[in-house]
Each structure stands twice: as structure tokens, then as C-alpha cells.
């Protein structure tokens, strides 16, 4: 029996019984969004705490004398006791999920992700995908949704950024010492470390297992740095997104195959697996393999049963963004595994191909995830539409509107990103538990918050950001060996009362970080206007192999070094969660200017909402559904033929004619009423809508609960329903080519169209299909589908039937087409069977 709860503390800390509670607090990543215990770590080691925000590291690094001194402080003891009480009460009280769904058939959701961004003290993320995964775990904890995370522990993680004297990016890879991270090894009841094994060609790869506590939620991590492995294998998980396709495939084997084995080793049997991108697609195969082994059924039956419990989220807006692996590489690393499944390498490859029989087509991990899932979603409304076009090839002859990809728009964990000042304002307006409820109550009260109070909050946050920028820039210049006078001059950049714009994200060409540099002299005039100045803070990394992205960073560095610009524009290096937190709290306007529709969602702009920052963004990703003139500004008209030059000119016009005037037009009280009106409406309307609280509830009610019910039905009685669905799929596929639609007759009377069609089903059972009328667009803009009722058999055509339907004559007859689609009460069409017949 395994005990994932067991933690081993250093002997010295174990001996201090009065501080064991403090050790428990230090290992709970819940601190990363509720920094109640800052004073403790500041007292132990203020410098280390400021640099790392890692309480576990601070606790281990502090001297025993210092710890014992604080342990004798009655005020500290009382403070720790109070924190422990708050923690226990928060974790012990039933949350939204248990209250709203007390009898739900959902024991666990296993959330698989290549990266998790929970805090800077656990650096196993690179950007938005990981931050999203971390925010989902945090909100799952807040809402009491039974999620367990599965990921990888990287020995170096993603790179840290330095800039040389010419603005060139240098990548550094510091070591992640597991003993200094907020994680502990998973151990058995006997105290043995739990190790997982997967097979690689000619050898076994041993994986160490770790756990991180995120409030109510636990994150499990796999680590290849086991002494039993060969040196090359020990370094397999050295870098996040490092190495070539061979390394990536092995990492994804660890995540998908090793991750599922880890859960089984822990005794966790999730009803639902949520795949955060295609990196985890191999869990589809391993989950089916173990079901087949446990129930003694063929792999096809097992896949039909377990598919119902899998959910796949894609974040990729272009087909080239999906992981693809050459058939030879797949054969080398997964050939024996595929043979063990009983499908061979060809069968495995077919699951991940658009053209299953094409021997040259690579294995596409997104396709594999789709073919093994119950539901597929993009991460914004627009991205859902883009994804339907991307995946249309998997569903030939189906209308793009019916490609089975929905959307759950991303959100951010508000408590992680809101400032103390914003927290106070929200608490006064909406109560202290607002983000633990389905919808924050009383957002109308926020709209009633006095203008002066909102403006005072913004002034404080902007002033704090100016202080942070000065301090960080000075440190950055000193580390780069800048002259003392340049380091000293950092103390005078920016002004607390100046309109502050922020742009920070991965530097990639489609994100167009250099759009403002299309007209650098106009930008200089904007920044240095003596009456209405503007200041701009930038940050971001380019992938180590992205030379165009690195060139854009150099261009900005050259620009901000211009003498007339230095006080008004700053590029901060090594963009990470700590930098992001300060920026999203302090900037007045967040710029996001990608080339539509290349931003699947984008969450950085969501993080400014709770803090009263406003967005100026391309109508892409989340902003396409969030934008209204009452809450911010939109760049472009929503078309996909954007010109960089035209968009740059439009961006300057927005800034010069709308943004800057609104900020500097003040009333007699010194408050910009028009600006504050935008701020309040943006906060009240958008913050709840684009929170991970709402996102997790959407996933739970739209995907997790239906998937759990479907999986339980299919898995019951040894997968009997899964076997029946697989037989239905096989039989239909074998005889589908014999189906055809003959002569459709239409009569229009009394405001109705009456359709009659003869349908030749051949050897296909009539209850295995659905004959329907289809119209591309109905009055509401959505496709219209109307089932046709089966009537009498056609005497002169064995195997043919007459079908009839009547619809209101709102659209012309030509708008409707009869068609035949697969039908089974428990199947997911067209996800499980994409056959379709139209009239010839």
C-alpha cells in the first residue's frame, strides 16, 4: 500500500516539533497565491526570500540558531498557529464542487501537462501553457474539484535569459535541485521511494516520483535522474522543450505512459484524463492497455471503453505547431509497445494520421489525442473555430461547422495575480470569498466604488511598479557590467504619474512585438511628449533557436538605449512569473498585438483585469469575445488579412487619439473620470468571466462530469458497452459504402416544406444510422439539423426505406440537403465514426 501523503523532513526540522506546522506550510504551494506567511520567511532570510519566494528553501537554509530563536517567539508561534487554523479550515470545508455535485460519479480527474507554472519557486514551465496548467490546479483547489496533476520534473527546466552588450540573448540553464524545491519524494508505507519503469529500446528507464501540494490538489512529477539509469537517460528530462524529436518523443513517453503508471502505482483510478495539448497523447494508449489487461478484453474494446473518459485541449492555432514524429522513430521507440497492444506499429501510426494507410505520414500527437478522446476543445471561441478548420481533414465531407471541436475559453487564477490593493477593493465590494464561489457576488457593487478610490488604487500600483522597474533595471545593468553612472541613472527612469504601457510575452514573429518600431520616431514623440508623456515597459524571451525573435529583442534593446528614450522605455530581462506579477499589477494598459488568428487565447491581458489595468489588443484569442468599447480598445477590424504597416499606424492613432487623452483628461478633483469608468467596467464585467474559477467550472460541468458518466457506463461489466460500440463501428464501416440517397421530393404548402427521400441502406441496420435534413445556416446562424422519420420500405428496392420530414419554410428548399450519418445512443459522432453520405 502506497502513501502519497507521507513527507520526509530534514532531521533537524523533525526535531523541532513546534515548527513542524511551519514546515507543512512551507511545502504547500497554496502560499503562492495567498501570501499570508510572508513575514515568517522575511524574518528567517529576507534576501533569499525576496530573490526566490521559496519558503521551503528559506526554511532549510536558515541556521538552526535562527529557527530556534523564532520558535521561542510567542508572537510568531501564535501567528503560525493562526495560519495553520486558516489552512485547515480552508482545506476541510466542502467547496463548490462537493456542494453543487454531492453525488457526482467523479473520483479523480488526472490532468496531464508537459509544464506547470505554479510559482517561481518551482521552475518547470516556459510560458502560457504552463501558467494555464498551474492556474487550473489552483482553481481546482479553490473549488474543491478532485483534480490531480501529472507532469515532469526537469533538472534545468526552461532557460534563463541574459542579454549581452549588443542586446543578444544568452540562454542559461541553472540546475533544479529537487531538495530545494517545494516537493517531496513519493514513498510507500514502508518508506521506500516509489519508482516507475518504462521500456526504451534495449533498456529500462527508471523514473523517480515526486509530489507537490497545491492546497487540496496534488501534483505528481516524474524524474529520470535515477542512479540506475545510464548517464544519457538520467539527463533525458534535463530541459523543457530541449533536444530534438528523439528526446521529445521519449519525454512524451515518460509523461503519457509513465504518468499513467504512476497513478496506478498510487492506487488512483481516475474516471477522467484531461490532456493539456498533444504532448500527453500516449496516455490514451496506456490507459487502454491496462484496461485490456485488467478486464481481459481486446485493445479495440478497451480503447472504446476508456476513450469516453478522455478530454483533449488543444492550444495550437497552426497545424505546424503539433508534435509530429517520423514513422521510423516511432517504430524504434514504440514498436515493441505497439506489438504488446496487439495493433503493431502500423496500427499505432494509423491512430495518429490523417491518412491512416499513408506509410510516409508521421505520427501526429494531436490526431492521436483526438482519436482517443470523448471531447476536444480549443481555448477561446475564435480558437475553436480555427481548430475546426485545422482538424477538418480528420472528418472528410463533414461541414467544418460540425467538426467536433468546441471551446472552453482560458482564464487566470485571480488571487495569484491581483495585488494587495486590488484585493482590498474587491473584498470591500464583493466579499472575501469571492473567488471560491461559482460567480463573484456583487460585481455591481464594484461598479459603485467611488472614482477616487479606484484611481487611488491605480496610482499606488503604478508607483510601486516604477520603484520595481528602477530597482530591477539597476540590478540588471550592474550584472551586465554597465558603467556606474548608468546603474545610478536607473534610479530616475519612469515617473509615478505617467501613463504606463506594458508588453511582455514570448518574442515570436506572429506576436509582432516590434509593431511599434515600424515608426520609431513617432514612438519617440509619443513617449517624450512634455504635456502627456508615456512610458513603456517590455519583457520577454525568444526561443533559443528562434533567431528572428532574438533579432526583435535586439531591436528593442537598441531603441531603449537611445538617450532621449532611456527614461521612458525599459526592457527587463529574464521574464518569469515574478516579473509578470509586478507588471500586470502596475501597468495602465496591456498591449497584445498578434497577427490574427495566431493567438489561440492569450492570458497575459486577463491578468491585468483584477488590478484595474486596461487592454489594447488585436481582436484575437480571448479579446475577440471580451472586447466592447466600454472596457478597452481593439486593434483592427477582426479580419485575417492584417497588414503590419496598417496595424502599426492604427495602433499609434489609438494611442494618440484615444488612450492618452482619456488618461490625462482630469476633473477638478484630479481624477480622469472617463478612464476610471473604463477601469470599473472592465474589472466588473471581465474579471469573473475570464477567471480560472469560471474556466474550471466550465470544464467540470461541460466535460468532466459527462465524461465520467460515459466512462463508467462503457467500463461497466468488463467494458460491455465499449465492446458493443466497437462492434457497431466495425459493422458500419464494413457496409457503409452500400448506403446511398435516391430521389428527394419536396412539397411546399401552408408555410412548410415537406421532404421525402428514398435511402438505400443495404446491409446496414436502420437503427444504426440517422437520416436528416441539413441546412448550412439557420436563422440564428447555426447549422440546422432535422431528423427524418423512417416510413415504409421501398418495395422495388430491397434494403431501401422512405424517410420524411417537415420544416417551416423559413429558408428556401435549396438550403436543405438530406444526408445519412452514423447513429448509436452512446456513441460520439463524428468523433468516433466520421462516415457520412450526401446525395450524389
- State the Cα–Cα distance between residues 622 and 690, nearest whole angstrom: 8
- d(Cα 337, Cα 335) in Å, to the nearest integer? 5
**Paired residues of 837 in beta bridges:** 820
The reported pTM is 0.95
Task: Please report the DSSP string for 397-443 in residue order.
Answer: TS-GGGSS-EE----B-HHHH--HHHHHHHHHHH-TTGGGSSS-TTH
Cα 409 from Cα 688, distance rounded (Å): 12
Residue 273: which of 110, 70, 42, 442 has the closest Cα? 110
Phi, psi of 696 (to 5 degrees): -65, -35
Which residues on neighbouring strands pair with residue 193, listed in sequence order?
A: 187
Cell 511545502 belongs to 27
- Walking along the chain (840 residues) 10 residues at a time, the average pLDDT comes out as 40 53 85 67 88 89 83 81 82 90 96 95 93 97 96 93 91 92 91 94 97 96 97 95 94 98 96 98 98 97 98 95 97 98 97 96 98 98 97 97 97 95 92 74 76 97 98 93 92 97 95 96 98 98 94 96 96 95 97 95 96 97 97 90 88 98 96 97 96 97 98 97 97 96 92 96 96 84 91 91 95 95 96 96
pLDDT score at 70: 80
CB of 523 within 8 A of CB of 535? no
C-alpha cell belonging to residue 692: 480560472
Query: What per-residue confidence (pLDDT) applies to 244?
Result: 93
| Domains (range + CATH), the chain | 2-92 (no CATH), 107-410+701-713 (3.40.50.2000), 438-687 (3.40.50.2000), 739-840 (2.60.40)
Rounded Cα–Cα distance for residues 194 and 187 (Å): 5
Q: Give CA separation, 756 vs 753, 771, 787, in Å.
A: 10, 11, 12
3-state secondary structure of 530: coil
Q: Which among 113, 135, 659, 694 has a CA at the least distance from the CA of 418? A: 135
The DSSP line for 137-169 is HHHHHHHT--EEEEEE--SSBSPEEEE-TTS-E
Amino acid at each position: 500500500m502506497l502513501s502519497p501523503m507521507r513527507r520526509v523532513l530534514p532531521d533537524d526540522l523533525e526535531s523541532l516539533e513546534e515548527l513542524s506546522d511551519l514546515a507543512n506550510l512551507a511545502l504547500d504551494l497554496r502560499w503562492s497565491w495567498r501570501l499570508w506567511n510572508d513575514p515568517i520567511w522575511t524574518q528567517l532570510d529576507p534576501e533569499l526570500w525576496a530573490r526566490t519566494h521559496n519558503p521551503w528553501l528559506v526554511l532549510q537554509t536558515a541556521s538552526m540558531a535562527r529557527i530556534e530563536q523564532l520558535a521561542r517567539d510567542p508572537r510568531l508561534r501564535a501567528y503560525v498557529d493562526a495560519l495553520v487554523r486558516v489552512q485547515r479550515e480552508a482545506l476541510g470545508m466542502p467547496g463548490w464542487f462537493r456542494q453543487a455535485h454531492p453525488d457526482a460519479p467523479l473520483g479523480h480527474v488526472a490532468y496531464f501537462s508537459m509544464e506547470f507554472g505554479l510559482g517561481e519557486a518551482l521552475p518547470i514551465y516556459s510560458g502560457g501553457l504552463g501558467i494555464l496548467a498551474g492556474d487550473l490546479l489552483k482553481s481546482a483547489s479553490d473549488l474543491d474539484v478532485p483534480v490531480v496533476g501529472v507532469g515532469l520534473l526537469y533538472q534545468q527546466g526552461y532557460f534563463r535569459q541574459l542579454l549581452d552588450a549588443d542586446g543578444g540573448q544568452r540562454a542559461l540553464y541553472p540546475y533544479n535541485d529537487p531538495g530545494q524545491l517545494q516537493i517531496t519524494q513519493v514513498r510507500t508505507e514502508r518508506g521506500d521511494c516509489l519508482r516507475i519503469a518504462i521500456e526504451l529500446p534495449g533498456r529500462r528507464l527508471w523514473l523517480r516520483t515526486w509530489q507537490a501540494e497545491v492546497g487540496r490538489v496534488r501534483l505528481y512529477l516524474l524524474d529520470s535522474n535515477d542512479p540506475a539509469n545510464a548517464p544519457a537517460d538520467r539527463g533525458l528530462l534535463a530541459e523543457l522543450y530541449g533536444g530534438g524529436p528523439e528526446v521529445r518523443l521519449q519525454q512524451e513517453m515518460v509523461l503519457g505512459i509513465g504518468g499513467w503508471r504512476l497513478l496506478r502505482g498510487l492506487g488512483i483510478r481516475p474516471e477522467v484524463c484531461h490532456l493539456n495539448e498533444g504532448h500527453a497523447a500516449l496516455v490514451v494508449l496506456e490507459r487502454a492497455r491496462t484496461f485490456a489487461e485488467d478486464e481481459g478484453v481486446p485493445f479495440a474494446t478497451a480503447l472504446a471503453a476508456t476513450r469516453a473518459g478522455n478530454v483533449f485541449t488543444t492550444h495550437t492555432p497552426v497545424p505546424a505547431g503539433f508534435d509530429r514524429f517520423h514513422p521510423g522513430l516511432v517504430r524504434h521507440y514504440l514498436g515493441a509497445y505497439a506489438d504488446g497492444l496487439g495493433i503493431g506499429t502500423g496500427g499505432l501510426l494509423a491512430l495518429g494520421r490523417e491518412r491512416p494507410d499513408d506509410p510516409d505520414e508521421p505520427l501526429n500527437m494531436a490526431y492521436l489525442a483526438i482519436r482517443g478522446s470523448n471531447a476536444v476543445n480549443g481555448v477561446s471561441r475564435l480558437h475553436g473555430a480555427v481548430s475546426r478548420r485545422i482538424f477538418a481533414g480528420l472528418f472528410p465531407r463533414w461541414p467544418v461547422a460540425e467538426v467536433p471541436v468546441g471551446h472552453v475559453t482560458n482564464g487566470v487564477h485571480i488571487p495569484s495575480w491581483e495585488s494587495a490593493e486590488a484585493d482590498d477593493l474587491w473584498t470591500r465590494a464583493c466579499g472575501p470569498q469571492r473567488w471560491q464561489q461559482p460567480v463573484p457576488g456583487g460585481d455591481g457593487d464594484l461598479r459603485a466604488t467611488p472614482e477616487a478610490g479606484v484611481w487611488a488604487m491605480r496610482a499606488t500600483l503604478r508607483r510601486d511598479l516604477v520603484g520595481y522597474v528602477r530597482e530591477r533595471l539597476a540590478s540588471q545593468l550592474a550584472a551586465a557590467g554597465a558603467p556606474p553612472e548608468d546603474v545610478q541613472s536607473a534610479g530616475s527612469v519612469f515617473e509615478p504619474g505617467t501613463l504606463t504601457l506594458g508588453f511582455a510575452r514570448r518574442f515570436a514573429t506572429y506576436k509582432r512585438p516590434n509593431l511599434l518600431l515600424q515608426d520609431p520616431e513617432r514612438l519617440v514623440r509619443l513617449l517624450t511628449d512634455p504635456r502627456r508623456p508615456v512610458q513603456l515597459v517590455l519583457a520577454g524571451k525568444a526561443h533559443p533557436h528562434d533567431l528572428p525573435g532574438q533579432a526583435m529583442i535586439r531591436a528593442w534593446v537598441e531603441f531603449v538605449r537611445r538617450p532621449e528614450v532611456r527614461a521612458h522605455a525599459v526592457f527587463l530581462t529574464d521574464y518569469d512569473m515574478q516579473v509578470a506579477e509586478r507588471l500586470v499589477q502596475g501597468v495602465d494598459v496591456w498591449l497584445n498585438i498578434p497577427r490574427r488568428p495566431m493567438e489561440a487565447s492569450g492570458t497575459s491581458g486577463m491578468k491585468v483585469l483584477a488590478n484595474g489595468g486596461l487592454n489594447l489588443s488585436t481582436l484575437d484569442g480571448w479579446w475577440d469575445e471580451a472586447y466592447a468599447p466600454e472596457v478597452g480598445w481593439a486593434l483592427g477590424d477582426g479580419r485575417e488579412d492584417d497588414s503590419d504597416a496598417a496595424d502599426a499606424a492604427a495602433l499609434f492613432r489609438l494611442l494618440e487619439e484615444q488612450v492618452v487623452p482619456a488618461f490625462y483628461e482630469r476633473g477638478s478633483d484630479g481624477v480622469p473620470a472617463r478612464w476610471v469608468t473604463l477601469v470599473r467596467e472592465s474589472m466588473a464585467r471581465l474579471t469573473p468571466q475570464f477567471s480560472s474559477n469560471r474556466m474550471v467550472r466550465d470544464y467540470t460541468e461541460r466535460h468532466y462530469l459527462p465524461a465520467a458518466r460515459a466512462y463508467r457506463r462503457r467500463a461497466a461489466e468488463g467494458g460491455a458497452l465499449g465492446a458493443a460500440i466497437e462492434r457497431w463501428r466495425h459493422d458500419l464501416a464494413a457496409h457503409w459504402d452500400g448506403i446511398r440517397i435516391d430521389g428527394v421530393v419536396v412539397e411546399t404548402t401552408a408555410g412548410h416544406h415537406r421532404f421525402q427521400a428514398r435511402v438505400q441502406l443495404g446491409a446496414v441496420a436502420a437503427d444504426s444510422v440517422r437520416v436528416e435534413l441539413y441546412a448550412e445556416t439557420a436563422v440564428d446562424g447555426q447549422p440546422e439539423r432535422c431528423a427524418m422519420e423512417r416510413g415504409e420500405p421501398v418495395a422495388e428496392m430491397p434494403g431501401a426505406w422512405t424517410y420524411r420530414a417537415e420544416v417551416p419554410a423559413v429558408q428556401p428548399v435549396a438550403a436543405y440537403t438530406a444526408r445519412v450519418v452514423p447513429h448509436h445512443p452512446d456513441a460520439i459522432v463524428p468523433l468516433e465514426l466520421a462516415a457520412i453520405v450526401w446525395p450524389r
